[in-house]
Amino acid sequence: MEASSSRVRSGSGGRSAGVKRRRGNGGGGSGSGSTAQALNDDTLRSVFSRLDDHFDLARCSAVCTTCSSNEGSILQEESASEKFRSYFKELALDEHASSFSRGPAEVYQWIGHPNRATICRMKSGSILTGVGDKILRLWSAESCKFMNEYIVPNTKMLVDFDFDENKSHGASFNHGLCMSYADPEVVIGCEDGRAFVYDMYSRSCSSIYRLHSSPLTCLTITDDQLIAAGSTFGNVAIADQHSGQKLGVLKSAFAPTAIRCLSFSTSGQLIFAGSSAGYAHCWDLRTLRPLWENRVSPNVIYSTHHLPGDTVTLAVGGIDGVLRLICQRTGEIIRSFIVDAGRPAASASSSRQQIEKKSVRQVAPDARLDNIPTRLRPQITCLSVGMKKIVTTHGENYIRVWKFRPKSS
């Protein structure tokens, strides 16, 4: 098609349109995959000689104009559709942040494992829980109902897991302490400070990187294919995922304090962390400098997470059992929650599980946690954030989903 356009400059405008039609059809029928530019002069003369009259040329010109118009219309529709998707995504994120900051909440709790669950992940409306026994279980984030389960072989020790919409991934490795997954690779952190990179499809180790001289406590893989690895010395190493080259070290002003959890913000190139001294940390990956470091808990922070795309709130949980929502920009506490045992719980039963609906109590920033019984605030071993939801595990056999609603006007 491009060759016929170039011929317009050396020949008549009518003939060029005919070339567009005949050569376009001929090229499609041959199945050779050759472009119009590959036709030599003899072939072009042969094509011209087979044209019946100028009406063929006129019709070809009209068809090509229509096709060009339709193509432009399709591109405009795609652009409009993309704008609508972006607009509604922004609306959803605004409602999510508003619900977390100001909206009411309730907790749905159920027995999920025969022994205990210490890790949870939530993605695309599904929750995966496990570690503590040999079972991973999949639940609906909306109804909290059981969906499926995966049995870990008895010969293996499960230390961490992750999943996407189509498959789940577990990590069992000698001396493995943590893992992070980004299809098609999984990175496993070990107690000797090394990270092992595995291909999930070939099941082979592709690389081994030395990231710290102390045990790796947590890992995350960024969208820019960087590995962030926390350590017991209170630093976070940043390395290239493919070469293993160390690009920098994120340091805390409050070191030594072990980094216990990491999460990455896709929107602002930020790394969030929780430490053993109760500090929440935020570093800018572009400068490798801390933006803020606030002590938000008197004890260890085990887990931090936020909804992908959300630039407002960060959920934090740890040994004191208080679920905290903090500001991503400043690190200040927005709200803190525990389950309210003073109000009766409603329950709904099915053939497999009983789900209790519990009320939520907001904790004042200056409240003395020693005055709140630990049975009302069991330790939060892990949390994961979804749209207006947070799932938590507590080292026990039950699972909790905290559901938030927009504040009514």
CATH no. for residue 207?
2.130.10.10
Q: Determine how many CB atoms are found less than 10 A away from the CB of residue 90.
A: 11
Q: Are residues 24 and 129 in the same domain?
A: no
Do 150 and 18 lie in a common domain? no
The pLDDT assigned to 28 comes to 42
Identify whether 223 is part of a domain.
yes
Residues 110 and 58 in one domain: no
Q: Is the dihedral of CA 86, 88, 93, 97 positive or negative?
A: positive
Same domain, 250 and 325: yes
- Do 54 and 202 belong together in one domain? no
Strands (E), 285-396: 289-295, 301-305, 313-318, 323-327, 333-340, 346-349, 354-362, 382-386, 389-393
For the purposes of burial, counting CB atoms within 10 Å of the CB of 138, is it exposed (0-12), middle (13-18) or buried (19 or more)?
middle
Work out whether strand 135-140 and strand 126-130 pair parallel, antiparallel, or are unpaired. Answer: antiparallel
Q: Is 56 exposed, middle or buried (0-12, 13-18, 19+ CB in 10 A)?
A: middle
Pair of tokens at residue 93: 């994120």
Count of the separate structural domains present in the chain:
2
Instruction: Please check whether residues 54 and 107 belong to one and the same domain.
Output: no
Q: Are residues 185 and 45 in the same domain?
A: no
Q: In this structure, what token pair is assigned to residue 203?
A: 């099941």
Q: Is residue 86 part of a domain?
A: no
Q: Determine the pLDDT at residue 199.
A: 87
- The verdict on 158 and 266 lying in the same domain is yes
Q: Are residues 329 and 221 in the same domain?
A: yes
Please report the pLDDT score of residue 20 as a whole number: 42
Cα–Cα distance measured from residue 238 to residue 385, given in angstroms and rounded to the nearest whole number: 24
Q: Are residues 147 and 222 part of one domain? A: yes
| Rounded CA separation 197/262 (Å) | 18
Which residues form the domain of 145?
91-404
The verdict on residue 75 lying in a domain is: no
Q: How far is CA 380 from CA 188, 212, 317, in A?
A: 23, 27, 5
Q: Is residue 64 part of a domain?
A: yes
Examine residue 264 and state whether it is found in any structural domain, yes or no: yes
The verdict on residue 4 lying in a domain is no
Q: Cβ distance 357 to 344 under 8 Å?
A: no
Length of the chain: 409
* 22 and 131 belong to one structural domain: no
Kindly state whether residue 77 falls inside one of the protein's structural domains.
Answer: no
Let me know whether 45 and 187 are in one domain: no
Rounded-to-integer distance, Cα 112 and Cα 115, Å: 9
Tens-binned pLDDT, residue by residue, of the chain (409 aa): 433 333 334 444 444 444 444 444 444 444 444 555 555 556 655 665 565 555 555 555 555 555 566 666 666 767 777 777 787 888 889 999 999 999 999 999 999 998 889 999 999 899 999 987 778 999 999 999 999 998 887 756 778 888 876 655 555 555 578 888 888 888 999 989 999 998 888 878 889 999 999 999 999 998 888 999 999 988 999 999 989 999 999 999 886 789 999 999 877 689 999 999 999 999 999 999 999 999 999 999 999 999 999 999 999 999 999 999 999 999 999 999 999 877 766 777 666 789 999 999 999 988 899 899 888 899 999 999 999 999 999 999 999 999 999 987 5
196 has which bridge partners?
Answer: 188, 208
Examine residue 341 and state whether it is found in any structural domain, yes or no.
yes
The rounded distance, in Å, linking the Cα atoms of 353 and 225 is: 41
Q: What confidence score (pLDDT) does residue 17 get?
A: 41
Which residue reads 């409306």 in tokens? 125
